[in-house]
Structure 1
Amino acid sequence: MINLGIIGTNWITHSFVEAAHATGKYTLVAVYSRKEETAKEFASKYTDKKITTYTDLDALAQDTNVSTVYIASPNILHYEQAKHMLSASKNVIVEKPACSTVSELDTLFKLAQEKNAILVEAFRHIQEPNFKLLKQKITDLGPIYGASLNYAQYSSRYEKVLAGETPNIFNLEMGGGALVDLGVYCVAAAIDLFGAPQDAHYWPVKIATGADGAGRLILAYPTFTVHLCHSKIYNSEAPSEIYGERGTLVVPTITDIDAVTLWDPKTKQKKGVDGVRKPETLNLLDEAKVFARFIEEGEREEVSRLERNSREVLAVLEKVRRDNGLLFPGGI
């Protein structure tokens, strides 16, 4: 059993814990929050577990009963908190984006290696079976002509921005913005599907807080381009598509994919791709299973591949943020 500690007590943490428990591989044993009442409230949801609550990161790091820590705090805190836990030889699962810069990420991966610990970034969508099916079917398209990947979902927290507030997710001081919150899903998908781009350009929609509320990216590859659209200030139901000589692969969303279809240029008709599976009700279940396997069995080759992906994703995010003056504390 993987004894799990968590940092960050929002809805996604509950989602991960619920999925982790459903695998039968994890048990929640520790909860950290800056406020004791918040930690206790979170722990109270799991009355069948014996859970220790902490308001001190050192105390959590020193808890020998905790083998793995899931981090889902505000983005700007990920690096220091992950570094703290890795230094204590704990495995770390950190929500995306894991860090603000490639330099920070390299420090964490080096530390994980030194401590013989597993560090993975929680890109749940690339672990979903239907995403893996989409990736597998790309080879059927022949030469690739391009792709369009979309994730635009209106955030209720934008109402706070319109009211003059600065919620964390739209606050550059907290490492926020639409690019690092939703756009990162599109970038991670593109890199898992096609590899690292040769170049990247970003056209952000800046909002009152100074952060980006939406934006469009172009990733340049040697023979094609990938267009990415993401937003937290408007909604879109546009599908994501991959264009090839032998047809077009279409998915309705880039996460929680419930159908993969192929448009055939010969018949000019769409057909479902064999093997499509209904998405899990617990949409973090697939990643929780994969990460448990990493922790229990090692699988260093796959861990190394995901490490490379994380580095390439962050290189794109860091470049285009800097290009557009979307800087986090310290000018990073």
Structure 2
Amino acid sequence: MQTKTEVEEASRRRASPSRRVLDALLLCTGDMEHLDEHMKDAIIEQLPHAEVSGGLHGCNGMLVSLLMGVFSSAGDWYWWLLLPVCLCSATCVFLYSGLTSLLVHWDLPVAVFPFNIIILLFLLCTGPNNPYFPHHPAVPPGVLQPNGTQVIAVEVMYGIPLGVGQIFACDAMGPSLLILGAVVLYSPLLATHALLGSAVGTLAGLSMAVSHDSLYSGLSGFNGALGCMAVGGLFFTFSWTTHLFAIASAFLSAYADIALGNLLGTVGLPACSWAATLTATLMLLLTGSLAAYSIPIGQVKAPEHNLNSRRRQWTAGNTLERDSVV
């Protein structure tokens, strides 16, 4: 008897030329199952397939590439920058693998630790006056400005959605709204916490009288957005308890970002997303009421999916308890 695959292959050979062209196009769309199977044996480091297909390694490489382009002062079309971009992005994969073997003992995510480490190492190695790969020095957010307490309310409000766009180094309103829309499609709960965290980060920036550029461009809000998203449904099941902790995480991430920005800015380095990454890691290490809502790292998915899974577990547990009583 022919297997299902053999039958499908035979029918594909008998199909019309137009049908074969359509089938070929479908190989490059959707889940691309054939390419997915092929790539399992083309992976150099043989890392877990779930990590690769889930984009965990590509995320850090993408962020490194974005920030290298943003900070580069060699022009918009400096093609030689592709060399360190490829090298640093590939290095993120090896660093991710090494950190995984360390953090797995505490069931902690590697998250964007590789991105934060690699981008700082690159900027330290090159410097603003490097003849081949110069970059713009970062300015501390707490730098004094004339009339530092007089802000434009509308521009501050614009900075809240821009804080979500700054997660991907975007400081334009249109693309930032598209990014926010994409987050809404993936998870409305995550998008809500992103905006909430950005608003909290902006409020923290106002309370510390950070530079107007940080407020207006969304730089004050993006670490707050990341910290709020991490606790408000991503690594923890959503509830009123985790919602309050998410707000606290947003405040802590925002204030830590200001402190790190002032510290690293003295040597011309950006704080990147160190504040949110360290804050989320701290929250995952906490014991007590928050730990009860923690999701095992291997089971983290969209917040709504995490919430439904926890509800099913609660329902199953209550059913077993009632059956045991009967």
Give yes or no for TM over 0.5: no
Structure with more of its chain in helix, by fraction: 2
| Bigger relative contact order (CA 8 A; separation at least 6) | 1
TM-score in terms of structure 1 length: 0.26
Between structure 1 and structure 2, the one with the greater Rg is 2
Structure with more of its chain in strand, by fraction: 1
